[in-house]
Structure 1
Amino acid sequence: MQRIGFVVFPDFQMMSLTAASVFEFANIAAGEAIYDVHLLSETGGVIRNSIGLAMQTEPFDDSAFDTLIVGGGTGIAPTTPGLIAFMQRGMTRARRVASICTGAFVLAEAGILDGRRATTHWLYARDLRSAFPSIKVEEDRIFIVDGAVWTSAGMSAGLDLALAMVEKDLGIDIARNVAKSLVIYHRRAGGQSQFSTLLELEPKSDRIQSALAYAKRNLQTALSVEQLADAAHLSPRQFSRAFKAETGQSPAKAVENLRVEAARLMMEQGRLPIDTVAQETGFADRERMRRAFLRAFGQPPQVIRRNAREAALN
C-alpha cells in the first residue's frame, strides 16, 4: 500500500485537498486499497483551513510516505523551520514530493526545487522566480514533473497532477475511470497552458461572446470581420468598435490567439502532422503557424510538442 501524506498548515486553501479524492477513487476503481491517505501538519490536531473549517491532522513524525504533497494557501504558502525540515527529510525518503499551487514556495524554501523546473499559480510565478532565481520557473504550465519532484499550478491543477500520478502508478485505464467518476475530463497534459484565451478576453456583452463562440467553433475557416459581425448581429464597423472596447484586442488578434491556443493543445496531445494542425486551426500553412507560436510562446510548434512528450515520459 502506498502512503500519501497531504501536508497542510493553518489557513491552507481548502481546494488543495480536492486532489485527495483522486486517490480515494483510484482505490475504488482498482477494487483494492492501493493508496492510504493521511492529512499531516506540524503540530497535529485541529487545523483550520482558509474558510474556517476545522480538520483533524496527524503530527509530523518519522513515518515513511511514498508520496508527500504540500498544499497551497490563498497567498504565498507560509513556512516554519519544522515544516521545512519535514519536507527536506521527506525528499530523502519518499518516492516523490509534490506541491499544489503556492505550496511550491514551501518546496523552494526547503531547497527541493533548486536547479529544477517548476510551476505554481500564474499569479505568483514571478514572485517565485524573483525569490528563488535558481529555480527554472515555467509559469505557463498546468504541472511539471522533474525527476521525483512534481509541482502544479492553481488549485484545480492539483487534480491533473494527482491523475497523472495515478496514471503513472496504475495505468491510463484506471486514471480515466477516476476522471469519469469525478465527472471531469481526463487530466490535462502537464505542458498545457494555465491560461484560457476566452477567459482572458472577458467579453461583457452577449453579442461579443456569441462572436467569440462562433470563432472557436469555426477556426478552420477564414473568419473575416464580416463573419464575426454577422454572428454578433452588428455591422462590421459597430462590431470592431465594440469588440476592441470590451476585450482590448482587435478581432484579428483575438482570433489568432484562439487559433494558437487550439493548435498548441493539438500539438501537445496528439500526433497529427504540423501541416494538418495548421490547416485544422485555420493558419493555412505551417509557416504562419510557426510565426504565431513564436509571437505567443517564443518557441516553434516542434519544441512545444517535444516538451510535452518529455513531460509525459517523466
Structure 2
Amino acid sequence: MPPSILRAGPLLALVMHLAMPTANAAEPPIRWFVQDAPPLLSFVDGQPPRQAQDLKNGEVDGFLRLLIAELPEFRHEFFDATLPRFELMVKSGETVCSLLHKRSPERLKDRYFTSTLPWLTSNQLYLVVRRDQLEKFAGLGRPVALAELLRRQDLSGLLTRDRSYGRQIDTLLQGPHQGAIKTLSVRKGSQLLIMLRAKRMDYVLETQAEVKEFLGAGEADLLMLPLKEGPTESLRYVSCSRTPAGRMQIEAIDRAIRKLAGDPQREVWLRNWLGSSLDVQERRRLLRYLDERARSGPQIE
C-alpha cells in the first residue's frame, strides 16, 4: 500500500465508511403516523418516538412495539402530524402506515387495512359536557340521542377535523345538520377538553380513556354521557397507503399480527402489555379473536 494512503489512514477509513451503505439504509422503511394521544399513545417529554424503544405501553404504542419486533426486515420511522396533514400525505401518494385510524369505505379507496385487535371498552365514545350544564342535556334521553342533539341550535359542539367517529355517527355528522357542529384541526384530543372546560363550546365527543386521562384523580368537572348512536366497529385496524410499497408493508404487517396471535408465549406478552386492565369478559373476547386470527389466512382489505 502506498505511504500516502497509510498516512491518510483515519481520514480514508472515515470516507470509506461514509461511502459504504449500512444495513439500516438497505432496509425498506415503514413510516408510522403517531400522535401524542394518552393513554393510547404517549410521547416521552412531549417528543415523538425516534426508535421503537421510545414507545410506551399504552393500548396503541404498546401493541406497535410488539408489532415492530416481528418486523425486523424493515427500518421503522415515526412522524407526528395533524390529521389533515396525514390525509394529504396519503392522497398525494406517500406511503405511510397508521394504527390510529378507523376503517371506513372512504379510506379504503386510498389505503389498505388489516385488523389487529378487538375494540376495547376503554375506547367507547361518549358525549362530554360540563357538570354545571348537565340540565341543558336532560331532554335528550339517556343514552343521549345525537340525532336530536344536532337539531338543538342552543347547544354548540366542536369536534376534531378529519377524525372518524364510527360509521353511524359519521353518517349523522354528514347529514342535513352537519353544520351544527364545528370542527378544528388539533394534535391532541385533550385540546378540545381544555376548550370545553374553558366554556368555548357546550360539548365534544371523546373516548372514555381520553377523558379519564385528562381528568386524572381530581374532581370531575366534566361528565361523560353515553350515546344512543354507539360505535358499530368491533375491531381495531392498521392501515397503509394503497401503493405498491404499502401493499408489501401491509402484507408483512398482517403476517406479523397472525404470528403474534399464535405465539406460544402469548400470555406473557399480553400480561406485559395490558397487565390486569381487562375484565374477564373482555379478556375472553380478546383471546377468542387471537385464536381465530392465528388460524386464519391474510385479512387485507
Judge same fold: TM > 0.5, yes or no: no
Highest RCO, 1 vs 2 (Cα 8 Å, sep ≥ 6): 2
TM-score norm. by structure 1 comes to: 0.30
